[in-house]
Amino acid sequence: MRDEENNASSFASLLSSKMAGKLEGVKETLLNKKEYYENCPGCKVDLHKAGQRGLPIKELFTIWIVILGTALPISSLFPFLYFMIRDFHIAKREEDISYYAGYVGSSYMLGRALTSVFWGLVADRYGRKPVIIFGTFVVVIFNTLFGLSVNFWMAIITRFLLGSLNGLIGPIKAYAAEIFREEYQALGMSTISTAWGIGLIIGPALGGFLAQPAEKYPSIFAKDSIFGRFPYFLPCLIISLFSLVVAIASFWLPETLHIHESSVPPQDSYEALEAAPDTKEGNESAPKENLFKNWPLMSSIILYCVFSLHDMAYNEIFSLWAVSPRKFGGLSYSTADVGEVLSISGFGLLVFQLTLYPLVERYVGPIIAARVAGVLSIPLLTSYPYIAMLSGIALSLAINFASVMKNALSISIITGLFILQNKAVNQRQRGAANGIAMTAMSIFKALGPAGGGALFSWAQKRLDASILPGDQVVFFVLNVIEAIGVLMTFKPFLVETQNT
């Protein structure tokens, strides 16, 4: 019995000494790498992450609704934009409607391109939380005013101000990198692209179902009501109310920016040192590399710009093509029909992103996944003009299948490139990198709707051309852009960083 007691005592002493040694190692690492300040919001978040266990459901949901509230107004206008421009009576001919619609679609991205770096600097100086709150309130104000637009220029101005004053996309990416423990950061980044993709599907669905409510639901909405006089106000109002809820809830978000007052000594309590994580960010005072010389970052941003140009042009063209008359090669769909197609696409995209894409990315990696998705998109888009020749159930099945496939392939490309972009830099430079990326991407996304609308308008004037008549030339140009992007996924252009 005495021997057993001695053995137990020795084991306890050995375990205690190992734990003490490990704790001393953690203390030494923390003191060498990072100081924790008692009143610093970023330090509090780091300490909270250290004691957190299990899947961070609350943080994932927070990122999801903030991104969703921002993504919805970007694309909600696509199903009804054709009819809105028609009602403004600015287009002299029916074929010119798509031309003006492209400018409205691009004004948001132009505003965002001009101010993304500014909002990134504001977030780095004053915190991510103020930019997030301000950006969501901007959606509430200017998205509502857009729904009340009475002419073409009011629509242009409200969309431009919505894009230029809502600068939370870059900061929310940095926020996602800082709010999650290291093992969940990849999941957090994927949540951004997933929520963004779903928002770009749900937005048009809401716009399609809720636009022109006095015509679609006369028993509920009278023609002399505000929704009858402003037929495109209801979807904007619903999205603005959702963004208002998000804006109010954002007041309770934890701030992740490290704000250290020089007069306050760093927190060195036993509990803080024991709980704090062993970070791998390195010395924060070390000189930062020139991001423009970081080719893995710049190559992924350039490629992202190419595919973003394609996707924005596709989104603009798809809705215009679906609602345009059969005589111009369209589907003669109503806004509700377009909303139905996009709703089905949104559900399919959600299922794909949560089940199939993580497995594909795990086994083949983000570059191969993006490359294969780009290749498969080309024959799919080629089939669109032939789908327009169908009718009835055959048309419904074909267009829904094609839309689900196209959006699943697009999100595979965008998610893969987004992962590469964030792996190319460490956390200290992620805010600046996101600012550069958002500016470049916004410029290309601004070109997408304008170029897509002008291309579609031009195609409707050459229905009798001998080479690529009508809509065939539209989808051919989209495929050329897609093919260029696929070629750029190969070395030596696209290089994956070896840093973890």
Domain final residue pick, 205, 240, 258:
258
Q: What is the pLDDT of residues 25-41, one digit of tens each?
A: 444 444 444 566 667 77
Q: Is the same domain home to 234 and 349?
A: no
Q: Is the same domain home to 138 and 189?
A: yes
Q: Which of 192-201, 204-213, 320-329 has the lowest mean pLDDT?
A: 192-201
* Domain-located, residue 11: no
Predicted pLDDT at 273: 33
Q: Is the same domain home to 199 and 323?
A: no
pTM value is 0.69
Predicted pLDDT at 282: 39
Predicted pLDDT at 430: 64
Predicted pLDDT at 9: 52
Distance CA 302, CA 293 (A): 13
Q: Is the same domain home to 324 and 237?
A: no
Is the separation of the CB atoms in 423 and 202 below 8 Å? no
Q: What is the pLDDT of residues 356-371, one digit of tens each?
A: 777 787 788 888 988 9
Q: Is the same domain home to 356 and 308?
A: yes
Q: What is the pLDDT of residues 262-311, one digit of tens each?
A: 544 444 433 433 443 443 343 444 556 677 888 888 888 899 889 988 88
CATH of the domain at 219: 1.20.1250.20
Q: Which of 20-24, 34-38, 396-400 has the lowest mean pLDDT?
A: 20-24
Q: What is the pLDDT of residues 236-256, one digit of tens each?
A: 999 999 999 999 998 988 887
Predicted pLDDT at 374: 92
Total structural domains in the chain?
2
Q: Is the same domain home to 117 and 227?
A: yes
* Domain-located, residue 480: yes
Q: What is the mean pLDDT of the chain?
A: 78
* Domain-located, residue 33: no
* Domain-located, residue 487: yes
What pLDDT band is residue 436 in, cutting at 50, 70 and 90?
confident
What is the Cα 252 distance to its own chain's centre?
A: 22
* Domain-located, residue 24: no
Residue ranges making up the domain that contains 250: 53-258
Residue 134 has pLDDT above 90, yes or no: yes
Residue 71 has pLDDT above 60, yes or no: yes
Residue 362 vs residues 131, 139, 301: alpha-carbon distances, Å: 34, 36, 22
Q: Is the same domain home to 152 and 194?
A: yes
Q: Is the same domain home to 333 and 241?
A: no
Of residues 493 and 40, the one with the higher pLDDT is: 493
Q: Is the same domain home to 235 and 328?
A: no
Q: Is the same domain home to 228 and 320?
A: no
Distance CA 311, CA 75 (A): 12
* Domain-located, residue 31: no
Distance CA 394, CA 82 (A): 25
* Domain-located, residue 466: yes
Q: Bridge partners of 36? A: 267
Read off the pLDDT of each residue in 38-61 and give the average, rounded to a whole number.
Answer: 73
* Domain-located, residue 139: yes
Q: Is the same domain home to 325 and 247?
A: no
Predicted pLDDT at 3: 53
Pick the most confident of 16-30, 156-170, 204-218, 486-500: 156-170
Q: Is the same domain home to 127 and 57?
A: yes
